[in-house]
A and B are shown apart, each in its own frame.
Chain A
């Protein structure tokens, strides 16, 4: 059995870790690292009977993830201190939101940049407030900067000069040029509050965003982690609220994300064994390509199936922008690379 399948089986408890041959762990650990999910696996196997050195490595991972989570939540607090005086309210997104809510998927989850959502009308003031509080622009390239401002769903990334941490300030959850336009006003106005007083998306919107991020915006790189988020959050939301799946369906329809939400649910079933309610539990022949892409990793952690990888990359761009604009964008990027290569400067 391939390491990536063993890894997934261990994650959901379909396989007894004690039954693994010592060498099987090489591939499992390598794949888990490549998917940025080693600490997630370490949490799932916290009570398991493991080879002693693997148990020690997993304990390191759990401790490191706890520190990283504290640092990420501190960064959210820093953003609040920068934005609150200007009266700008924001909603936490993705990893830091899951951590703020203490959700199952946040156990061991790697958190990258701080992702926040503000109302589109607040975006300029938010940028100013952050710049005044010590954040700086990362990208100095004028084309990239303009591209972000004109066409993306977020500001160009900002980095804090003292703490070296990035913040992504979103005004919606998909690029402006995307075929789908979620209702950003509804996302912000129907947000809920965490114990610490941070706003986060309500459960149905959170699942919609997770599905959109994975299936409508990305090329499925790191897809197993995003799918794990979706699987565990929908499982727990449904356990707490019997009407959750119905609410998710309605909310996904509002945002134009019904297809993404349904596919994410089916993939959760096919990969992680999620149990789906009626109306969700059906087959779509094209799902097989997504499953193959998610499992496309060899025992050394390398992405396999390069053609499929490329196809999903092209798909992500196809969804993000109309063809003429895509052509113009790729042309500009290509010319820039050429001129940088000839002038000897490093490409960004």
Chain B
């Protein structure tokens, strides 16, 4: 393809090809601080392309393709090329990665132990992880957390955090503007702005950590904390995993061990500050 970039996030090496320079340039800016090995073969391929040659220039619209394709995915305008690239990368990992069990969850780590947060879009798991990642936690990722089926450790997938809507202002107020990507306004997912994780989080992205606490956050409403049983946590995580079924017995083993060995809570919180305080309190109460 005309333009391409190579990016390694956690254990996955991507190559992203594009019919336009802009999305690749935006990716290269966002991922400039990530370690790169030019000689490493790509595990996954993403393609950003125009459905017809003239659509490169005339009302340019970006189709998302690659090793795996969602047949009826709608294209995005070129101004949202960065979001298209992000969606393409997520898709390849969600459908193609088999080394680890993939949880659709954010995670942060402290003292070699991981706090994993799983929830629907809008639950605040990304915002909480981003905010914790600006304090004395290591951000592991806002989208996927990888569980090693052999040892049960959690591994990071620290792509650029996708901040949405109100969360943009909350986080932007606390970080150096150089770590923020361009504002993508009015996307199908609302306003989006990317946050580059701290350099120490990127440098430590290959270090495995033990899962210590599982949270299922829910943004909005009064403060509540409910202990969650192993069974419910198990079922929720099978729903949050994109490759649980494909991993077969290894996936069952990994998930069983995770919910048996890790205390789980459902939490509700009205605002980010309360959410952070709640998380810190539960973490302090978690037995070591």
A residues sitting closer than 8 Å to B (CB atoms) are 22-23, 25-26, 29-30, 33-34, 51, 53-54, 56-57, 60-61, 63-64, 67-68, 70-71, 164, 300-302, 346
Contact = CB atoms under 8 A, between A and B. Distances in A.
B40 A68 contact: no
For A22, A54, A67, A70, the residue with the greatest tally of chain B CB atoms inside 10 Å of its CB is A67
Contact of B248 (A26, A29, A70, A346): A70
B67 interface: yes
Nearest to A32: B67
Contact of B98 (A30, A61, A301): A61
A70 B67 CA distance: 24
For B41, B66, B97, the residue with the greatest tally of chain A CB atoms inside 10 Å of its CB is B41
Contacts of A33: 45, 67-68, 96
B47 A54 contact: no
Given A29-B42, A51-B39, A300-B45, 16 more contacts: A22-B40, A22-B41, A25-B41, A26-B15, A29-B41, A53-B40, A54-B41, A56-B99, A60-B97, A60-B99, A64-B247, A67-B246, A67-B249, A67-B250, A68-B246, A70-B248
Interface in B76-111: 96-99
Contacts of A30: 15, 42, 45, 67
A22 B39 contact: yes
A110 to B, nearest CB: 12
Contact of B67 (A25, A34, A56, A164): A34
A51 B245 CA distance: 29
Contact of B41 (A51, A300, A346): A51
A70 B246 CA distance: 11
B65 to A, nearest CB: 8
A61 B250 CA distance: 14
B43 A57 contact: yes
9 contacts: A29-B42, A30-B67, A33-B68, A67-B247, A68-B246, A300-B1, A300-B17, A301-B47, A301-B67
Contact of B39 (A23, A61, A300, A302): A23
A64 B13 CA distance: 19
B72 interface: yes
B42 A26 contact: yes
Interface residues of B, number: 26
Contacts of A22: 39-41
Tell me the interface secondary structure of chain A in the complex.
helix
A29 B42 CA distance: 8
A68 B248 CA distance: 8
B247 A26 contact: no
Contacts of B41: 22-23, 25-26, 29, 51, 53-54, 57
Interface string B237-257: 000000001111110000000
Given A64-B98, A67-B246, A346-B72, A53 B67 contact: no
A56 B72 CA distance: 32
A30 to B, nearest CB: 5
Contacts of B246: 64, 67-68
Nearest to B1: A300
Interface string B215-249: 00000000000000000000000000000011111
Contacts of B98: 60-61, 63-64
B190 to A, nearest CB: 23
B1 A53 contact: no
A51 B98 CA distance: 19
A300 B248 CA distance: 30
A53 B42 CA distance: 9
Nearest to A30: B45
Nearest to A62: B98
Nearest to B247: A67
- The 10 A-B residue pairs with the shortest CB-CB distance, nearest first, are A25-B41, A67-B248, A22-B39, A33-B67, A64-B98, A60-B98, A30-B45, A60-B99, A26-B42, A54-B41
